[in-house]
């Protein structure tokens, strides 16, 4: 006995990928052609510098993380955390600027 036919929509494909534990595999070859999306650029492993003119400047180094975490002092950010993976509300420890003030460092 079979159930009603369920259309294969983008939302359904993403849900099935999550349920099957395939969310972290990229799925570029499986899902991207089906939904017509481009692949995201790989995260940059380098350091990021705060561009606020009033900042010292602060350089976020993924190898060090952020033990201060002004946005949530009770939850320091561990070493190894890429800049792209910082919480949306993360702030510069020196000046309090949001992530949008940061640019990849050349140092």
CA 47, 48, 51, 54 dihedral sign is negative
Q: So where are the chain's domains?
A: 8-40, 42-107
> Tens-of-pLDDT digits for all 107 residues of the chain?
555 555 666 666 655 566 556 544 444 444 444 444 445 445 456 999 999 999 988 999 999 999 988 888 888 999 999 999 999 999 999 999 999 999 999 86
**pTM exceeds 0.75:** no
d(CA 79, CA 85): 12
CATH 3.40.50.150 fits 42-107, yes or no: no
């Amino acid at each position: 006995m079979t159930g009603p036919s369920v259309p294969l929509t983008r939302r359904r494909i993403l849900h099935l990928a999550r349920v099957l534990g395939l969310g972290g595999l990229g799925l570029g070859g499986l899902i991207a052609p089906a939904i017509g999306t481009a692949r995201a650029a790989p995260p940059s492993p380098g350091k990021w510098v705060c561009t606020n003119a009033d900042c010292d400047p602060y350089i976020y180094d993924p190898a060090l993380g952020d033990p201060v975490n002004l946005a949530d002092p009770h939850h320091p950010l561990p070493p190894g955390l890429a800049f792209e993976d910082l919480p949306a509300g993360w702030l510069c420890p020196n000046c309090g600027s949001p992530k949008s003030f940061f640019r990849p460092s050349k140092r």
